[in-house]
Amino acid sequence: MIGYVVRRLLFLVLVLFGMSLVTFVVSHAIPADPARLLAGLEVTQDQVESVRREFGLDRPLPEQYVRFLGGLLRGDLGQSLSTRRPVRDDLEKFFPATLELGLAATGIALVIGIPFGVFAAVRHGKWVDHGTRMTALAGAALPVFWSGLMLQLVFYRHLGWLPAGGRLPQGQLPPALVTGLYTVDALLAGHWSLAWVSARHLAMPALALSGVMLAGLARMVRSSLLDVLREDYIRTARAKGVAERLIVLRHAMRNALIPVLTVFGLQFGHLLGGAVLTETVFFWPGVGAYAVRAVTTVDFPAIMGAAMLLAAIYVVVNLLVDLSYTLIDPRIRY
């Protein structure tokens, strides 16, 4: 097991190196001059060169890349061209917001998606099955920016139950920093009202973001469970008179979960990187919105930093998923 983890972590280093190289080459291949963009249209060429020197953009590309790698080893991702803050500081600020949103969306997807899938499989071919599939399809098909706006119209504009967006109300300072997840930090600090306020702000974007994952999970659980329920050992259990509830939850679900976990791992990584629209509609200050801004302003260090972070998260989450197989199926050993 330890050898496997070490190998996977070494693989992570390789992935990050490859990612850095590809991102660096691709982002620098874009025909754009970030120094000119930063300096402004009116400025003199002398000023443009001054900005270019300040950010090291005057150096040859291989040198810029080597400097980036050197910084990376020291945990320094450079300075963002657009926010003018260290990229690391920005990511530390924005990633917890995305993580909190992703976790909440995942929670919603798990709590609703898995039971949906189970019901659909157990009531295969019945109206529950069709209804669940239709709902899942709708969840996957609706664009987030549309569902987000609809949620805002209903729950904010008309009902007034939830705030329109953001992580906190105007003027409200965040809780003392521990994890960066406001709900968690507020609870850790014992500020129940702030935790409640944070959770209310989290509700709509998390619901909007959960749609695709929820649909995917429900469908995956359904199909996987259907396959398992046709296995011989399930028939044997039924013949022995084991209650259907126990068959499904204790015997079938465990085996059905392995492919579900695989999909879940992929989707969770995808969800963290793909929360851009949700973050934009709900003005959620996450790393997705940060990455988009970086791309539109040709902010090379920020693009690289965000890409590296998301790649690392993707690989680590999938490693954790792989490791979790051993907990579900004792036959699996690494």
Residue 60, CB-side half-sphere exposure with 13 Å CA sphere: 3
Angstrom distance (rounded) from CA 141 to CA 214: 12
Instruction: Rule CB under 8 A: say whether 298 interacts with another protein.
Output: yes
Report 37-56 residues binding another protein (CB under 8 A).
37, 39-44, 46-47, 50-51, 54
**Cβ pair 16, 312 in contact under 8 A:** yes
Cβ closer to another protein: 54 or 322? 54
Q: DSSP letter string over 14-51?
A: HHHHHHHHHHHHHHHHSS--HHHHHH-SSS-HHHHHHH
Cβ closer to another protein: 121 or 276? 276
Write the binding mask 162 to 181 for another protein: x where contact by CB under 8 A, - elsewhere.
-xxxxxxxxxxxxxx-----
Cβ closer to another protein: 270 or 293? 293
Q: Which stretch binds another protein (CB under 8 A): 9-17, 232-240, 282-290, 308-316?
A: 282-290
Classified as helix, coil or strand, 80 is coil
Q: Which stretch binds another protein (CB under 8 A): 29-37, 57-65, 214-222, 231-239?
A: 29-37
- Least separation in angstroms between CB 274 and another protein: 18
Cβ closer to another protein: 35 or 105? 35
Instruction: Rule CB under 8 A: say whether 34 interacts with another protein.
Output: yes
- Least separation in angstroms between CB 283 and another protein: 5
Write the binding mask 196 to 235 for another protein: x where contact by CB under 8 A, - elsewhere.
-x--------------------------------------
**Cβ pair 281, 148 in contact under 8 A:** yes
Cβ closer to another protein: 266 or 295? 295
- Least separation in angstroms between CB 211 and another protein: 18
| Phi, psi of 31, deg, nearest 5 | -75, 85
* 286 CB-near residues (< 8 Å, 6+ apart): 94, 95, 97, 98, 101, 275, 279
Q: DSSP letter string over 116-184?
A: HHHHHHHTTTSHHHHHHHHHHHHHHHS-HHHHHHHHIIIIIIIS--S-SSSSS-TTPPPPPPSSS-HHH
- Least separation in angstroms between CB 23 and another protein: 17
Q: Which stretch binds another protein (CB under 8 A): 16-24, 27-35, 99-107, 217-225?
A: 27-35
**Cβ pair 301, 77 in contact under 8 A:** yes
- Least separation in angstroms between CB 280 and another protein: 6
User: Of 81, 60, 83, which Cα lies nearest the Cα of 299?
Assistant: 81
Q: How far is CA 305 from CA 102, 149, 249, 317, in A?
A: 19, 30, 43, 18
Angstrom distance (rounded) from CA 121 to CA 222: 5
| Phi, psi of 177, deg, nearest 5 | -70, 120
- Least separation in angstroms between CB 84 and another protein: 5
Write the binding mask 89 to 128 for another protein: x where contact by CB under 8 A, - elsewhere.
-x--xx--x-------------------------------
- Least separation in angstroms between CB 296 and another protein: 6
Task: Name the site residues for another protein (rule: CB under 8 A).
Answer: 30-34, 36-37, 39-44, 46-47, 50-51, 54, 82-85, 90, 93-94, 97, 149, 152-153, 156-157, 160, 163-176, 189, 191, 193-194, 197, 280-283, 285-286, 289-290, 295-298
